[in-house]
Amino acid sequence: MSFVLPHARCGVMGILNVTPDSFSDGGRFVRLPQAIAQGLRLIEEGADILDIGGESTRPGAAPVSVQEEMDRVIPVVEALARETGTPLSIDTSTPEVMRAAVSAGAALINDVRALRMPGALKAAAAAGVPICLMHMQGEPRTMQASPRYGPDIVDEVTGFLTERIAACEAAGIDRARLWIDPGFGFGKDLSHNLALLAQLDRLSRLGFPLVVGLSRKSMLGQMLDGNDVSERLPASLAGALWAAAHGAAVVRVHDVRATAEALRIWHAVASERAARAGA
Ligand code: PT1
């Protein structure tokens, strides 16, 4: 199963965490009926894609077992695939979960480890769906301890993604199936995240659909003198608009309705400007 991006405007990927320790939903959606209800709510709010994840990858999070991850996400993918036509993305690094989720109807694989787990390239190749390759330095549990980059972080992230794209092609995955993501907050301090965000257009020029996840992240809190995660909606909207204006094809967000509305305004003005430039 595959789908076409809404390329005329930036798409909204709604976050559906099925984790008991998720950093901003407080594990409220662990149970199946709640997870399904939350997914349907995000679709009603205007999500173009739902990203379903059973492993928390925020800073400090510990890995989960394959069985635990399966038990969390597969019933949710099955139910939402049955009940909606909205494309579902599976946020996983685990080959078994990729296979089961795509069989259950997932239309995209979103892997924060960019298919570096043993067997992941093979599973993703066989799945036949688009794949989002994300940059991360280190592993979630320890990645924020001492992130280090050379003078040009965009070059380094681009080099990593280019290497993963080559690995995908060597595994038989057509590059037309690949999306990319610089991985905000994944082994990056504030200066690293800001340097990437300020030069997002360099990544969008690589020619792959660009995914950006800034929603409620600590980098926004740091820029607002340490505000609480519950107070980060305005900052998240500013980040989503910046990303859309600088080439993001998709923004990954918690607050779908607010983000979709902000993007509609931005897009209406951007379209008017483009029409005038063309006239
Ligand atoms: C992301 C992303 C993701 N983020 C993609 N998938 C998370 N493609 C999970 C913090 O600093 O950006 N892109 N899957 C969530 N990860 C984090 C990272 C959550 C950092 C919070 C922080 O607060």
Which ligand 1 atom is nearest residue 213's CA? Answer: 12
Higher pLDDT, 244 or 20: 244
**Per-residue model confidence (pLDDT) at position 19:** 86
Return mean pLDDT, the chain.
94
Domain membership of residue 112 (yes or no) is yes
Give catalytic status of residue 122 as yes or no.
no
Q: Is the CB of 113 under 6 A from ligand 1?
A: no
What is the pLDDT averaged over residues 6-21? 84
Over 50: is that where the pLDDT of 45 sits?
yes
Out of 49, 112, 194, 212, give the residue to mutate to test ligand 1, the one with the largest number of ligand atoms within 8 Å of its CB. 112
Over 70: is that where the pLDDT of 2 sits?
no
**Per-residue model confidence (pLDDT) at position 171:** 98
CATH classification at residue 142: 3.20.20.20
Q: Which segments of 196-258 are extended strands (E)? A: 211-212, 250-253
CA 185–ligand 1 middle distance (angstroms): 6
**Annotated catalytic residue, options 58, 177, 217, 232:** 217
CA 153–ligand 1 middle distance (angstroms): 18
Domain membership of residue 178 (yes or no) is yes
pTM recorded for the entire structure: 0.95
pLDDT band, very low/low/confident/very high, at 23 (cuts 50, 70, 90): low
pLDDT band, very low/low/confident/very high, at 278 (cuts 50, 70, 90): confident
Report pLDDT digits (tens) over 222-254: 999 999 999 999 999 999 999 999 999 999 999
Higher pLDDT, 24 or 194: 194
Domain membership of residue 2 (yes or no) is no
**Per-residue model confidence (pLDDT) at position 20:** 80
Q: Is the CB of 86 under 6 A from ligand 1?
A: no
Q: Whose CA is nearest to atom 13 of ligand 1?
A: 213
Q: Is the CB of 181 under 6 A from ligand 1?
A: yes
Domain membership of residue 120 (yes or no) is yes
Over 90: is that where the pLDDT of 134 sits?
yes
CA 13–ligand 1 middle distance (angstroms): 13
| C-alpha to C-alpha distance for 83 and 77, rounded to whole angstroms | 10
Query: How open is the CA angle 183-187-191, to the nearest 5 degrees?
Result: 85
Which range, of 83-97, 118-132, 165-179, 265-279, averages the lowest pLDDT?
265-279
Domain membership of residue 201 (yes or no) is yes
CA 99–ligand 1 middle distance (angstroms): 22
Domain membership of residue 39 (yes or no) is yes
Tell me the residue range of the domain where 135 lies.
Answer: 11-278
Report pLDDT digits (tens) over 87-105: 999 999 999 999 999 999 9
Domain membership of residue 6 (yes or no) is no
Give catalytic status of residue 141 as yes or no.
no
Q: Which residue has the tokens 């910046």?
A: 242
| C-alpha to C-alpha distance for 279 and 276, rounded to whole angstroms | 5
Which ligand 1 atom is nearest residue 211's CA? Answer: 8
| C-alpha to C-alpha distance for 147 and 261, rounded to whole angstroms | 35
Domain count, the chain: 1
Q: Is the CB of 136 under 6 A from ligand 1?
A: no
CA 58–ligand 1 middle distance (angstroms): 6
Over 50: is that where the pLDDT of 1 sits?
no
Over 70: is that where the pLDDT of 6 sits?
no
Query: Three-class SS of residue 165?
Result: helix
Which range, of 52-66, 106-120, 211-225, averages the lowest pLDDT?
52-66
Q: Is the dihedral of CA 134, 136, 142, 147 positive or negative?
A: negative
**Per-residue model confidence (pLDDT) at position 7:** 47
Q: Is the CB of 15 under 6 A from ligand 1?
A: no
